[in-house]
Protein backbone atom coordinates (compact mmCIF):
# COMPACT_ATOMS: atom_id res chain seq x y z
CA UNK A 1 0.00 0.00 0.00
CA UNK A 2 1.31 3.43 -0.92
CA UNK A 3 1.99 5.87 1.93
CA UNK A 4 -0.15 8.99 1.79
CA UNK A 5 1.28 12.48 2.13
CA UNK A 6 -0.51 15.61 3.24
CA UNK A 7 0.79 18.66 1.35
CA UNK A 8 -0.15 21.69 3.43
CA UNK A 9 -1.34 24.67 1.39
CA UNK A 10 -1.73 28.18 2.74
CA UNK A 11 -2.14 31.45 0.80
CA UNK A 12 1.15 32.27 -0.94
CA UNK A 13 2.45 28.70 -1.21
CA UNK A 14 3.61 28.09 -4.79
CA UNK A 15 5.46 24.75 -4.87
CA UNK A 16 2.60 22.38 -4.12
CA UNK A 17 2.44 21.10 -7.69
CA UNK A 18 6.17 20.43 -7.93
CA UNK A 19 6.20 18.56 -4.62
CA UNK A 20 3.15 16.51 -5.56
CA UNK A 21 4.84 15.53 -8.85
CA UNK A 22 7.96 14.39 -6.97
CA UNK A 23 5.80 12.29 -4.62
CA UNK A 24 4.01 10.67 -7.57
CA UNK A 25 7.34 9.75 -9.16
CA UNK A 26 8.54 8.31 -5.85
CA UNK A 27 5.44 6.12 -5.51
CA UNK A 28 3.37 7.95 -2.88
CA UNK A 29 -0.21 9.11 -2.84
CA UNK A 30 -0.91 12.66 -1.75
CA UNK A 31 -3.62 15.15 -0.92
CA UNK A 32 -3.28 18.91 -0.92
CA UNK A 33 -4.80 20.12 2.34
CA UNK A 34 -5.84 23.73 2.83
CA UNK A 35 -4.61 25.14 6.13
CA UNK A 36 -8.11 26.36 6.90
CA UNK A 37 -9.40 22.77 6.59
CA UNK A 38 -7.09 21.77 9.44
CA UNK A 39 -8.06 24.87 11.42
CA UNK A 40 -11.76 24.00 11.13
CA UNK A 41 -11.22 20.29 11.82
CA UNK A 42 -12.45 19.28 8.36
CA UNK A 43 -9.16 17.41 7.80
CA UNK A 44 -6.88 15.69 10.29
CA UNK A 45 -3.21 14.77 10.14
CA UNK A 46 -4.04 11.33 11.58
CA UNK A 47 -5.03 10.19 8.09
CA UNK A 48 -1.52 10.61 6.65
CA UNK A 49 1.94 9.07 7.01
CA UNK A 50 3.97 11.94 5.55
CA UNK A 51 3.55 15.64 6.23
CA UNK A 52 5.02 17.80 3.46
CA UNK A 53 5.38 21.55 4.00
CA UNK A 54 6.20 23.09 0.60
CA UNK A 55 7.91 26.27 -0.50
CA UNK A 56 6.48 29.65 -1.40
CA UNK A 57 5.66 32.80 0.53
CA UNK A 58 2.85 31.92 2.91
CA UNK A 59 0.71 34.96 3.75
CA UNK A 60 3.23 37.05 1.82
CA UNK A 61 5.83 36.30 4.52
CA UNK A 62 4.49 39.35 6.34
CA UNK A 63 6.07 39.87 9.77
CA UNK A 64 8.76 37.28 8.92
CA UNK A 65 9.00 34.17 6.76
CA UNK A 66 6.36 31.54 7.66
CA UNK A 67 5.56 33.26 10.96
CA UNK A 68 1.82 33.60 10.30
CA UNK A 69 1.61 30.05 8.93
CA UNK A 70 3.35 28.72 12.04
CA UNK A 71 1.35 30.85 14.49
CA UNK A 72 -2.00 29.81 13.00
CA UNK A 73 -0.96 26.15 13.04
CA UNK A 74 0.13 26.22 16.67
CA UNK A 75 -3.05 28.03 17.65
CA UNK A 76 -5.42 25.61 15.91
CA UNK A 77 -3.80 22.17 15.73
CA UNK A 78 -0.64 22.06 17.83
CA UNK A 79 -1.85 18.88 19.52
CA UNK A 80 -2.17 17.18 16.12
CA UNK A 81 1.38 18.20 15.19
CA UNK A 82 2.68 16.85 18.49
CA UNK A 83 0.83 13.57 18.01
CA UNK A 84 2.01 13.24 14.40
CA UNK A 85 5.72 13.48 15.29
CA UNK A 86 5.30 11.16 18.27
CA UNK A 87 4.22 8.39 15.91
CA UNK A 88 6.26 6.54 13.30
CA UNK A 89 5.67 9.17 10.60
CA UNK A 90 7.76 11.57 8.51
CA UNK A 91 7.86 15.34 8.03
CA UNK A 92 9.67 17.33 5.35
CA UNK A 93 9.76 21.13 5.01
CA UNK A 94 11.23 22.80 1.93
CA UNK A 95 12.18 26.50 1.83
CA UNK A 96 9.13 28.24 3.34
CA UNK A 97 8.28 24.82 4.77
CA UNK A 98 11.69 24.68 6.48
CA UNK A 99 11.01 28.13 7.92
CA UNK A 100 7.66 26.79 9.15
CA UNK A 101 9.37 23.86 10.90
CA UNK A 102 11.79 26.23 12.62
CA UNK A 103 9.02 28.66 13.68
CA UNK A 104 6.89 25.85 15.15
CA UNK A 105 9.79 24.18 16.98
CA UNK A 106 9.52 20.96 14.95
CA UNK A 107 13.15 21.67 14.12
CA UNK A 108 15.80 21.47 15.29
CA UNK A 109 14.78 19.44 18.36
CA UNK A 110 11.11 18.46 17.80
CA UNK A 111 9.98 20.66 20.69
CA UNK A 112 6.64 21.89 19.37
CA UNK A 113 5.99 25.50 20.38
CA UNK A 114 9.62 26.28 21.25
CA UNK A 115 11.69 28.34 18.82
CA UNK A 116 15.32 27.31 19.31
CA UNK A 117 16.93 28.57 16.08
CA UNK A 118 16.05 30.86 13.20
CA UNK A 119 16.24 31.37 9.46
CA UNK A 120 16.83 35.04 8.86
CA UNK A 121 17.65 37.53 6.09
CA UNK A 122 20.36 36.47 3.65
CA UNK A 123 23.78 37.99 4.33
CA UNK A 124 23.62 39.51 0.83
CA UNK A 125 20.53 41.48 1.95
CA UNK A 126 18.59 40.49 -1.13
CA UNK A 127 16.61 37.63 -2.62
CA UNK A 128 18.74 34.74 -3.93
CA UNK A 129 17.61 32.64 -6.86
CA UNK A 130 20.32 30.32 -8.20
CA UNK A 131 21.41 26.69 -8.45
CA UNK A 132 23.64 25.47 -5.61
CA UNK A 133 25.56 22.32 -4.72
CA UNK A 134 24.98 20.61 -1.40
CA UNK A 135 26.82 17.69 0.15
CA UNK A 136 24.93 15.07 2.12
CA UNK A 137 26.34 14.80 5.64
CA UNK A 138 26.52 11.72 7.91
CA UNK A 139 23.29 11.37 9.89
CA UNK A 140 20.44 9.00 10.69
CA UNK A 141 18.04 11.00 8.52
CA UNK A 142 15.42 8.79 6.85
CA UNK A 143 15.28 11.01 3.76
CA UNK A 144 19.01 10.80 2.99
CA UNK A 145 19.63 7.17 3.90
CA UNK A 146 22.44 5.72 1.76
CA UNK A 147 23.32 9.11 0.28
CA UNK A 148 26.17 10.19 2.57
CA UNK A 149 28.88 12.09 0.68
CA UNK A 150 26.77 12.59 -2.45
CA UNK A 151 26.60 16.09 -3.92
CA UNK A 152 23.10 17.17 -4.91
CA UNK A 153 22.21 20.11 -7.16
CA UNK A 154 19.14 22.15 -6.32
CA UNK A 155 17.78 25.63 -7.07
CA UNK A 156 17.29 28.15 -4.28
CA UNK A 157 14.69 30.91 -4.15
CA UNK A 158 14.59 32.72 -0.83
CA UNK A 159 15.26 35.97 0.97
CA UNK A 160 15.46 34.56 4.51
CA UNK A 161 17.56 31.40 4.40
CA UNK A 162 20.50 32.15 6.70
CA UNK A 163 20.46 29.61 9.52
CA UNK A 164 21.44 30.94 12.93
CA UNK A 165 21.46 29.32 16.37
CA UNK A 166 23.14 30.09 19.67
CA UNK A 167 26.32 28.25 20.62
CA UNK A 168 24.54 25.75 22.86
CA UNK A 169 21.95 24.79 20.26
CA UNK A 170 24.54 24.64 17.48
CA UNK A 171 26.77 22.32 19.52
CA UNK A 172 23.84 20.05 20.26
CA UNK A 173 22.86 19.97 16.57
CA UNK A 174 26.38 18.98 15.54
CA UNK A 175 26.89 16.50 18.38
CA UNK A 176 23.69 14.69 17.34
CA UNK A 177 24.63 14.71 13.62
CA UNK A 178 21.54 16.72 12.72
CA UNK A 179 23.19 18.69 9.91
CA UNK A 180 22.22 16.82 6.76
CA UNK A 181 23.19 19.27 3.99
CA UNK A 182 26.00 21.80 3.63
CA UNK A 183 26.63 24.21 0.78
CA UNK A 184 29.82 23.19 -1.01
CA UNK A 185 32.13 24.59 -3.67
CA UNK A 186 33.19 22.92 -6.93
CA UNK A 187 35.66 20.77 -4.97
CA UNK A 188 33.01 19.51 -2.57
CA UNK A 189 34.22 21.58 0.38
CA UNK A 190 31.76 23.38 2.62
CA UNK A 191 32.05 27.12 2.29
CA UNK A 192 30.85 30.50 3.52
CA UNK A 193 31.84 32.10 0.21
CA UNK A 194 29.12 33.92 -1.70
CA UNK A 195 27.37 33.03 -3.98
CA UNK A 196 28.20 29.32 -3.54
CA UNK A 197 26.76 29.72 -0.07
CA UNK A 198 23.84 31.91 -1.15
CA UNK A 199 22.74 33.18 2.25
CA UNK A 200 25.74 33.12 4.61
CA UNK A 201 24.22 30.31 6.68
CA UNK A 202 26.22 29.34 9.78
CA UNK A 203 28.81 26.65 8.97
CA UNK A 204 27.27 26.38 5.48
CA UNK A 205 24.21 24.61 6.91
CA UNK A 206 21.54 24.14 4.24
CA UNK A 207 19.37 21.50 5.92
CA UNK A 208 18.70 19.80 9.24
CA UNK A 209 16.93 16.77 10.62
CA UNK A 210 15.45 16.09 14.03
CA UNK A 211 17.43 13.94 16.49
CA UNK A 212 15.45 10.83 15.44
CA UNK A 213 15.96 11.56 11.72
CA UNK A 214 12.24 11.62 10.85
CA UNK A 215 11.78 15.39 10.43
CA UNK A 216 13.82 17.14 7.74
CA UNK A 217 14.01 20.74 6.58
CA UNK A 218 16.13 22.38 3.89
CA UNK A 219 16.19 25.70 2.05
CA UNK A 220 16.93 24.59 -1.56
CA UNK A 221 14.29 22.78 -3.61
CA UNK A 222 14.84 19.03 -4.21
CA UNK A 223 11.41 18.74 -5.85
CA UNK A 224 12.74 20.94 -8.67
CA UNK A 225 15.43 18.41 -9.58
CA UNK A 226 13.52 15.17 -9.40
CA UNK A 227 13.65 14.36 -13.11
CA UNK A 228 16.45 14.05 -15.67
CA UNK A 229 15.54 17.18 -17.62
CA UNK A 230 15.00 19.41 -14.58
CA UNK A 231 18.65 20.48 -14.49
CA UNK A 232 19.72 23.22 -16.93
CA UNK A 233 22.51 20.96 -18.26
CA UNK A 234 20.27 17.93 -18.70
CA UNK A 235 21.26 17.49 -22.37
CA UNK A 236 24.99 17.29 -21.55
CA UNK A 237 26.19 13.75 -20.92
CA UNK A 238 27.04 13.27 -17.27
CA UNK A 239 25.20 16.43 -16.21
CA UNK A 240 21.65 15.10 -16.29
CA UNK A 241 19.39 15.97 -13.38
CA UNK A 242 17.02 13.97 -11.23
CA UNK A 243 19.32 12.94 -8.40
CA UNK A 244 17.08 14.55 -5.77
CA UNK A 245 14.21 12.14 -6.40
CA UNK A 246 15.90 9.68 -4.07
CA UNK A 247 15.01 11.91 -1.12
CA UNK A 248 11.33 11.27 -1.79
CA UNK A 249 11.92 7.62 -2.68
CA UNK A 250 13.57 7.08 0.69
CA UNK A 251 10.46 8.44 2.40
CA UNK A 252 8.26 6.01 0.46
CA UNK A 253 10.57 3.05 1.13
CA UNK A 254 10.43 3.77 4.86
CA UNK A 255 6.82 2.56 4.89
CA UNK A 256 7.36 -0.59 2.85
pLDDT bracket for residue 146 (50, 70, 90): very high
User: What SS3 class is residue 30?
Assistant: strand
pLDDT digits 0-9 by tens, 25-67:
999 999 999 999 999 999 999 999 999 999 999 999 999 999 9
Q: Give the CA-trace dihedral at 96, 99, 104, 110, to 10 degrees.
A: 110
Given the residues 158, 221, 230, 231, the one annotated as active site: 221
pLDDT digits 0-9 by tens, 216-244:
999 999 999 999 999 999 999 999 999 99
* Mean per-residue pLDDT, 112-134: 97
223 is catalytic: yes
95 is catalytic: yes
Given the residues 18, 128, 160, 223, the one annotated as active site: 223
Residue 198, pLDDT score:
98
- Look at domain 4-254 and name its CATH class: alpha beta
Given the residues 53, 95, 209, 224, the one annotated as active site: 95
Give yes or no for residue 1 having a pLDDT over 90: no
Which residue, 165, 5, 74, is CA-closest to 66?
74
End-to-end CA distance of the chain: 8
Amino acid sequence: MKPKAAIIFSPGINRDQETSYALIQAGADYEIIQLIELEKGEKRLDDFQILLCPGGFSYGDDVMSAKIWASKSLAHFQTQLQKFISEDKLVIGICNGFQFLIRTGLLPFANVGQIEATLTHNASNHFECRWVNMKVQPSNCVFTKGMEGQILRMPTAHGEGRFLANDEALKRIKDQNQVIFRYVDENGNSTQDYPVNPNGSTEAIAGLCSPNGKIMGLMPHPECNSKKNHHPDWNIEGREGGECLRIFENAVKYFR
